[in-house]
Amino acid sequence: MAQVPQTFFDALAVRTWCGLALETLGRAREEIDAINVYPVADGDTGTNLYLTVESAVGAVEAVFAGHAAGSGPEGPTLADAAGAMAHGALIGARGNSGTILAQLLRGMAQVLAGGDTAGADGQGLRLALRHAADSARQAVAHPVEGTVLTVASAAADAACGAEGDCGRVARAAYEGALSALAETPGQLPVLERAGVVDAGGRGLVAVLGALVETFTGERPRGTATAASAARVSAGAAGVPGARASAPVAAGSHSPVATGGQGPVATGAQGPVAAGSQSPVAAGAQGPGESRAHLVPGQADGPEAGAHTGPGECAEGPAVPGPDGPAFEVIYLLEAEDAAVTRLRERLDALGDSLVVVGGDGLWNVHVHVDDAGAAVEAGIEAGRPHRIRITHFGAGDVHTTGAERPPRERAQRAVVAVVPGEGLAGLYGEAGATTVLARPGEPPASGELVQAVRRAHAREVVLLPNDAELRHTAAAAAEQARTEGIRVALIPTRSAVQGIAALAVHEPERRFDEDVVSMTSAAGATRYAEVTVAEHQSWTMAGICQAGDVLGLIDGDVAVIGSDVTATAETVLDRMLAAGGEMVTLVLGDEAPDAVAEHLEGRVREGYLAVDTVVYRGGRQGSLLLIGVE
């Protein structure tokens, strides 16, 4: 859809640019994934960039929605929108490529949000691009030329030499980046051998192309031919066995609404490369007592099934071999600047591909190491790490060994579930489900759910969102997966305890429709409740609650307001069992009192004959307690 060009870089321009960047990366994702050969050829750079920008889009849309819901007529400022873009990219960054892109966006936001005007002109955009390139380079421990850093610097150099409005500056930056991209094979031997350009740089060119479209209303030409130009260059140099990058598949772009209200992302793209590794656990807590028909073992970890895989890196060994780092470690870190400085030094000594981006107390840390535990421990010493992702690099790769991996046969059926805590991730994983971890305030995007469906590698997939607010996100992911030939059934589970009930009756040997009906029936027959603590004063169905009150929610509505966790939980449980039940499921969060489970078990045993109780440990699930009654 043709865009109304923006004259100044204001809040609407930020919104438009983010939406167009997501749309552009959606179209180019498969091509970028296919040329990902440095330093780990795992074929997911395009996907990681897409998911990073999708997170930025969500943050910007939230800012606009918040202002629209207010009583004032004015919308968000440039500082509001640019800050949201940078923050969204930071917390949603995937892989090294996404981490560096997040720092580029943060660098731009620092300049754009620094003025008092409602919008930035061409001079402001030049300064923003320069600061972005410089700050991204500073975030990488050992920058290497021929990567996205080179392309970003070239874009900034070209922009600084341009005169005129934002449209002229953006076009100059795009053309400078495109030229630098074509030169990357001559700067990195691994790119030259493969006959491709740098994947991260290719993604940045796509993002800058969207910036041009934002300010001119026209999509620049040349992006789609960037990889071809590099192959011609490589071929002219006599590179044997140059491999052509995959063309963009028809219909591979994700739908993005770009009407008068700004772009809103509704889907995600990008298959995980064949044979991509599952995340390895880091400090997962196993579940508690086992249910009769769900027998959990050792949990795979807090991020089981939640990570999209390592991304293109700006530095490090070109080909991971037996002597290269075994793990990629990524986490968000809340820490002071001085502690982060010490952390950089320690992680640099532990491994390579070190990138630390962020600021103002929140950082995104990425490193390749052999000792993943030591990398996490370093983060604990520096501050509070969370959203920890650890990925084990597989031995060998089609890009680095020259030998094709034998295709892994698809399973007939799989279950993909969103879970709120590490313990439940382990429980679901041991029961055979592919999991996506959703921490409080960090719901998964549709792209992450699509990734999980692909990672399940099955012809038929049952999707359990386990959250009423994720239903539309899950529906969009299911629709996207269906276009790729995967049969997906969405069971609208609204709580993890409903998902447990559905998974307990799952039988892959049954006909798909029969299995879905049985799982849906089990989930629907399970009432669910939650015990949590109020964060602020608000009106509820049970009256006015104050910050710090203990709330008991039944089927999503506040039913009990109390001051004691155990007493409130008992009241909630009694109300639920008043309507009958045969099985009570209790999922305890890390912050729940130790005695609450024992007390509730005793209450059921003494007051409700023939009702069984099963207890699981949910880990950091946000709620103090989840209750299910079947």
Distance CA 313, CA 532 (A): 41
Bridge-based pairing of strands 411-419 and 434-437 is parallel
Q: Per the structure block, which two tokens stand in for 351?
A: 């491994």
> What's the pLDDT score for residue 153?
95
Half-sphere exposure of 124 (CA within 13 A, CB side): 19
Distance CA 109, CA 187 (A): 30
Q: What is the mean pLDDT of each run of 10 residues along the chain (630 residues)?
A: 65 93 88 81 80 90 83 77 92 88 93 74 91 92 91 94 90 94 92 90 94 91 48 36 32 31 32 30 32 36 33 37 68 91 91 87 89 88 85 45 51 92 84 84 77 89 92 83 89 93 93 94 94 88 89 92 93 92 90 88 89 87 89
What is the identity of the amino acid at 216?
T
> What's the pLDDT score for residue 117?
64
User: Phi and psi (nearest 5°) for 587?
Assistant: -120, 110
Q: Is the dihedral of CA 430, 432, 433, 436 positive or negative?
A: positive
* Contact (Cβ atoms closer than 8 angstroms) between residue 385 and residue 376: yes
> What's the pLDDT score for residue 410?
81
* Contact (Cβ atoms closer than 8 angstroms) between residue 335 and residue 384: yes
The candidate with the shortest Cα–Cα distance to 233, out of 190, 272, 278, 184, is 184
Q: What are the angstrom distances between the C-alpha of 549 and each of 208, 541, 565?
A: 48, 14, 9
Distance CA 208, CA 195 (A): 23
What number of other Cβ atoms are within 10 A of residue 295's Cβ?
Answer: 10
> What's the pLDDT score for residue 283?
32
> What's the pLDDT score for residue 568?
93
Q: Is the dihedral of CA 446, 450, 455, 457 positive or negative?
A: positive
What number of other Cβ atoms are within 10 A of residue 390's Cβ?
Answer: 23
* Contact (Cβ atoms closer than 8 angstroms) between residue 433 and residue 427: no
Distance CA 603, CA 611 (A): 11
Distance CA 126, CA 130 (A): 6
Please report, in angstroms and rounded to a whole number, the separation of the first and last CA atoms in the chain. Answer: 50
Global pTM exceeds 0.85? no
DSSP state of 259: S
> What's the pLDDT score for residue 118?
67
Q: Per the structure block, which two tokens stand in for 28?
A: 């180019």
Q: What is the dihedral of CA 199, 201, 207, 211, to 10 degrees?
A: -160
What is the identity of the amino acid at 417?
A
> What's the pLDDT score for residue 224?
43
Task: Give the length of the chain.
Answer: 630
Distance CA 109, CA 78 (A): 9
